[in-house]
Structure 1
Amino acid sequence: MFKEQKGYIVSRHTKEVNGQIEMSLFVKTPDGTVKVIPDRQQTSFFSTIPISELPVDVKGVQYHPTELNSFDHQTVTLIQTNSMTLHSQILKFVKQTGHAVFEEDIKAHDRYLMERNIRGSIRFIGLVEQGGLVYRQAKVIAGDYAPNWNIWSLDIETSVTHNKILSIGITNDLLRQAFVVAPDNTNLENVTAFSDERSLLLGFMQFVKKHNPDIFIGWNLIGFDLHFIDQRCQQLGIRAAFGVNGETWNIRSSENQGKYFASIPGRVALDGITLLKVGGYHFESYSLNNVSHEILGDRKLLHGGDRWQEIERMHQHDLASFVAYNLQDCDLVWRIFKQLKLIQLQQTRVDLTGIPMEQTGGSVASFENLYIPRLHQAGYVAPSWKDEAFVASPGGFVMNSLPGLYKNVLVFDFKSLYPSIIRTFFIDPLARITAQKAPQQNNQHIVPGYLGAHFEVDQAILPELVGELAKAREEAKSSHNDILSYAIKIIMNSFYGVLGSNVCRFYHAELASSITMRGHEILQLTKTWMEEKGANVIYGDTDSLFVVLNDESAEPDVLGKHLCEDINQTLTAWCRDYANVDSHLELEFETLYERFFMPTIRGQEEGSKKRYAGKTNNKVVFKGLEAARTDWTKLAREFQRNLFDIVFNDENPIAYIQSIIEQLKAGQLDEWLVYSKQLSRPLSEYSKHKPPHVRAAMMIDEKRASLGLPLEYNKGRKRIHYVYQTSGVMPYETQADLNHLDYEHYIEKQLVPIADSLLPIFKTNMASLLSQQISLL
Structure 2
Amino acid sequence: MPETIEFMLLDSSYEIVGKEPVIILWGITLNGERVVLLDKRFRPYFYALISPSYEAKAEYIASAIKRLSMAKSPIIESRVVDKKYFGRPRKAVRVTTMVPETVREYREAVKKIEGVEDSLEADIRFAMRYIIDKKLYPFMAYRVAVEETEHSQGFRVSKVFNIVGEPIPIADITSIELPEMRILAFDIEVYSKKGSPNPSRDPVIIISLKDSNGNEKLLEADGYNDRSAIREFVDYIRNFDPDIIVGYNSNHFDWPYLIKRARRLGIKLDVTRRVGAEPTTSVYGHVSVQGRLNVDLYDYVKEMHEIKMKTLEEVAEYLGVMKKSERVLIEWWRIPEYWDDKKKRTVLRRYALDDVRATYGLAEKLLPFAIQLSAVTGVPLDQVGAMGVGFRLEWYLIRAAYDMNELVPNRVKRYEESYKGAVVLKPLKGIHENVVVLDFSSMYPSIMIKYNVGPDTIVDDPSECEKYGGCYVAPEVGHRFRRAPPGFFKIVLENLIKLRKQVRAKMKELSPDSPEYRVYDERQKALKVLANASYGYMGWTHARWYCRRCAEAVTAWGRNLILTAIDYARKLGLKVIYGDTDSLFVAYDKEKVKKLIEFVEKELGFEIKIDKIYRRVFFTEAKKRYVGLLEDGRIDIVGFEAVRGDWCELAKEVQERVAEIVLKTGDVDKAIEYIRDVIRKLKEGEIPITKLVIWKTLTKRIEEYEHGAPHVVAAKRMRDAGYEVSPGDKIGYVIVKGRDSISNRAYPYFMVEPSRVDIEYYIDHQIVPAVMRILSYFGVTERQLKVVSAGYRSLFDFFASKA
TM bin (shorter chain) = 0.7 to 0.9
Deviations 1:363-421 (A, max 9, x none): 34433443334434444312222223332344433222232222333322111212222
Instruction: Using the TM superposition, give the Cα deviation of residue 596 of structure 1 relative to its aligned residue in structure 2, in angstroms.
Output: 2.0
Contact 1:129/1:135 (<8 A) preserved: yes
Do the aligned partners of residues 390 and 643 (structure 1) sit closer, same or farther apart at CA in structure 2, a change above 3 Å counting? closer
- Please state how far the C-alpha of 1:658 moved relative to its aligned partner: 4.8
In terms of mean alpha carbon deviation, does 409-418 or 303-312 score higher?
Answer: 303-312
8 Å contact from structure 1 (residues 155, 169) kept in 2: yes
Counterpart Cα distance in 2 of 1:528 and 1:539: 13
Residues 568-579 of structure 1: pairs in structure 2 closer than 5 A: 568-571=601-604
Residue 24 of structure 1 is matched in structure 2 by: 24
The letter for the 2-side match of 1:218 is G
Q: Residues 534 and 320 of structure 1: is their aligned pair in 2 closer, same or farther, counting only changes over 3 Å? A: closer
**How much does 1:437 deviate?**
11
Equivalent in 425, 428, 453 of residue 427 of structure 1: 453
Aligned to 1:148: 180
What displacement does 1:595 show?
2.3
Q: Tell whether the 8 Å contact from 2:398 to 2:408 is kept in structure 1 after alignment.
A: yes
User: Does residue 65 in structure 1 map to residue 80 in structure 2?
Assistant: yes
Separation of aligned partners in 2, 1:243 and 1:758? 54
Aligned to 1:715: 727
2:637 is matched with: 622
Over residues 718-748 of structure 1, what are the superposed CA-to-partner deviations in whole Å (9 max), with x where a residue is unaligned?
3635345456444464596432443433343
Q: 1:177 to 1:409 in 2, by over 3 A?
A: closer
Residue 345 in 1 paired to residue 386 in 2?
A: no
Are 1:688 and 2:706 an aligned pair? yes
* Structure 2 equivalent of residue 468 of structure 1: 498
**For 2:275, what is the secondary structure of its paired residue?**
coil
Q: Is 746-755 or 263-272 further displaced after alignment?
A: 746-755
List aligned pairs for 1:218-237, cutoff 5 A.
Answer: 218-237=247-266
Alignment of 1:263 with 2:281, yes or no, is no
Distance of 2:634 and 2:400 partners within structure 1: 47
Residue aligning to 2:424: 398
CA distance in 2, matches of 1:694, 1:76: 55
Opposite residue 107 of structure 1, the aligned amino acid is: R
1:428 partner SS: coil
- Change beyond 3 A, Cα 1:591–1:282: closer
Counterpart in 1 of 2:198? none
Where do 5+ consecutive residues of structure 2 fail to align? 51-57, 152-157, 194-200, 513-517, 791-803
Q: Deviations over 1:573-595 (max 9, x none)?
A: xxxxxxxxxx3x21223333232
Distance 1:542 1:558 in 2: 24
The answer to whether the aligner puts 1:308 opposite 2:335 as a matched pair is yes
Which amino acid letter does the alignment assign opposite residue 454 of structure 2? D
Preserved CA contact (<8 Å) 2:23 2:40: no
1:251-279 alpha-carbon deviations (Å, 9 max, x no partner): 2278xxxx74211210111112223335x
> Is the 1:422–1:462 contact (alpha carbons within 8 Å) kept by the matching residues of 2?
no
Q: How many Å apart are 1:509 and its aligned residue?
A: 0.6
Question: Structure 1 residues 619 and 250 mapped into 2: Cα distance closer, same or farther (>3 Å)?
Answer: closer
Residues 311 and 128 of structure 1, relative CA distance in 2, 3 Å threshold: farther
**CA contact 1:693–1:722 (8 Å) conserved in 2:** no
2:34 alignment counterpart: 33
Distance 1:203 1:746, change over 3 A: closer
2:271/2:278 contact within 8 Å kept: yes
Output one character per residue of 1:336-371: Cα deviation in whole Å (capped at 9) or x when no partner: 322x1x221111111111111101144344334433
Contact 2:468 2:483 in 1 (8 A): no
Per the alignment, in what secondary structure is the counterpart of residue 585 of structure 2? strand
Return the alpha-carbon distance in structure 2 between the equivalents of residues 253 and 715 of structure 1.
Answer: 21
**Aligned with 1:354 (options 375, 378, 382):** 378
Q: Matches of 1:509 and 1:317 in 2, distance apart? A: 63
Counterparts of 2:311 and 2:756 in 1: how far apart (Å)? 28
**Aligned equivalents of 2:425, 2:120: Cα separation in 1:** 42
In structure 2, the partner of 1:80 is 96
Please report how far the alpha carbon of residue 218 of structure 1 lies from its aligned counterpart in structure 2 after TM superposition.
1.4
| Distance in structure 2 (CA, Å) of the matches to 1:92 and 1:390 | 27
Aligned to 1:746: 762
Aligned residue type for 2:616: R
Of residues 411, 427, 439 in structure 2, which corresponds to 1:413?
439
Question: What is aligned with 2:7?
Answer: 7
Comparing 713-722 and 61-70, the one that deviates more: 713-722
Tell me the secondary structure at the aligned position of residue 684 of structure 2: coil
- 2:212 corresponds to 1:170: no
TM-score (normalised: structure 2): 0.81
Deviation, structure 1 residue 766: 3.1
Q: How many residues align?
A: 723
AA matched with 1:105: D
Structure 2 CA distance for aligned equivalents of residues 19 and 394 of structure 1: 53
Where 2:316 maps in the other structure, the secondary structure is helix
Please say if residues 183 and 244 of structure 2, whose CA atoms lie closer than 8 Å, have aligned partners that are also in contact.
yes
Seen in structure 2, the aligned counterparts of structure 1 residues 476 and 667 have a Cα distance that, compared at 3 Å, is: farther
Cα offset for 1:31?
4.7
Normalised to the residue count of structure 1, the TM-score between the two structures is 0.84
Q: Quick one: distance in 2 between partners of 1:375 and 1:251?
A: 31
Within a 5 Å distance, the mapping from 1:38-53 to structure 2 comes to 38-49=39-50, 50-53=58-61
Deviation sequence 1:473-517 (CA, Å, 0-9, x none): 533663544322322222222222222212221111122222222
Q: Distance in 1 between matches of 2:184 and 2:677?
A: 51
* 1:459 paired to 2:486: yes
Using the TM superposition, give the Cα deviation of residue 150 of structure 1 relative to its aligned residue in structure 2, in angstroms: 0.9
Structure 1: runs of 5+ lacking an equivalent:
184-194, 550-555, 572-582, 600-606
Q: Report the equivalent of 2:626.
A: 612
* 2:537 aligned counterpart, secondary structure: helix
User: Kindly tell me: are residues 627 and 512 of structure 1, through their superposed partners in 2, closer, same or farther at Cα, counting changes over 3 Å?
Assistant: same
Stretch moving more, 111-120 or 169-178: 169-178
**In 2: Cα distance, 1:334 partner to 1:620 partner:** 29
| AA of the residue aligned to 1:596 | V
Aligned-residue sequence identity (percent) comes to: 21
2:55 aligns with none
Provide the rounded CA distance (Å) in 2 between the counterparts of 1:597 and 1:531.
21
Contact 2:21–2:40 (Cα < 8 Å) also in 1: no
Please name the residue that 1:552 is paired with: none
Which residue of 2 is the match for residue 335 of structure 1? 361
Deviation at 1:5, TM superposition (A): 1.8
Structure 2 counterpart SS, 1:622 = strand
What SS does structure 1 have at the residue aligned with 2:688? helix
Question: What CA distance in whole angstroms lies between the structure 1 residues aligned with 2:103 and 2:645?
Answer: 50
> Aligned equivalents of 1:751 and 1:203: distance in 2?
48
Residue 466 of structure 2 corresponds to 441
Which stretch shows the higher mean deviation, 684-693 or 486-495?
A: 684-693
Secondary structure in structure 2 of the residue aligned to 1:358: helix
Q: More displaced, 732-741 or 394-403?
A: 732-741
Match of 1:285 among 292, 303, 309: 309
**Post-superposition offset of 1:440:** 2.5
Instruction: State the shift of 1:212 in Å.
Output: 1.4
RMSD, matched Cα: 3.4
State whether residues 65 and 110 of structure 2, in contact with CA within 8 Å, keep that contact through their aligned partners in structure 1. Answer: no
Q: Residue 17 of structure 1: CA displacement? A: 2.9
Q: Does 2:674 match 1:653?
A: no
Secondary structure, aligned partner of 2:148: strand
2:234 equivalent in structure 1: 205
CA distance in 1: counterparts of 2:377 and 2:541, whole angstroms:
21
| 1:158 CA displacement | 2.7
Please give the alpha-carbon distance, in whole angstroms, between the structure 2 residues aligned to 1:687 and 1:628: 23
The 1:527/1:63 distance shift into structure 2, 3 A limit, reads: same
State which drifts further: 488-497 or 367-376.
Answer: 367-376
> Could you tell me how far apart the structure 1 residues matched to 2:288 and 2:554 are?
37
